[in-house]
Amino acid sequence: MASGNGELTGAGYIKHHLTNLTFGQHPDGTWGFAHSAAEAKEMGFMAIHVDSMLWSIALGLLFLLVFRSFAKSFKKENPGKAQVAVESIFQFAQDSKNSSFTPHAKNDYIAPIALTVFVWVLLMNIMDIVPIDWLPTLAAVFNGESWSQISSTGAHTYMKVVPTTDPNITLGMALSVFVMIVYYSIKVKGAGGFLKELAFQPFGPKLLPFNLLLETVALLAKPLSLGLRLFGNLYAAELIFILIAMTFSAGIGIGLLGGFAQMGWAIFHILVIPLQAYIFMMLTIVYLSQAHEHH
Residues taking part in catalysis: 225, 229, 233
Give the C-alpha separation, 280 to 150, whole Å.
37
Mention every residue, 6+ apart, whose C-beta is less than 8 A from residue 255: 131, 132, 133, 245, 248, 249
Contact between 164 and 52 (Cβ < 8 Å): no
Contact between 261 and 244 (Cβ < 8 Å): yes
Distances (CA, A) of 282 to 98, 144, 198, 211: 11, 44, 24, 27
Distances (CA, A) of 136 to 51, 127, 133, 142, 160: 10, 12, 6, 10, 7
223 cis-preceded (ω within 30 degrees of 0): no
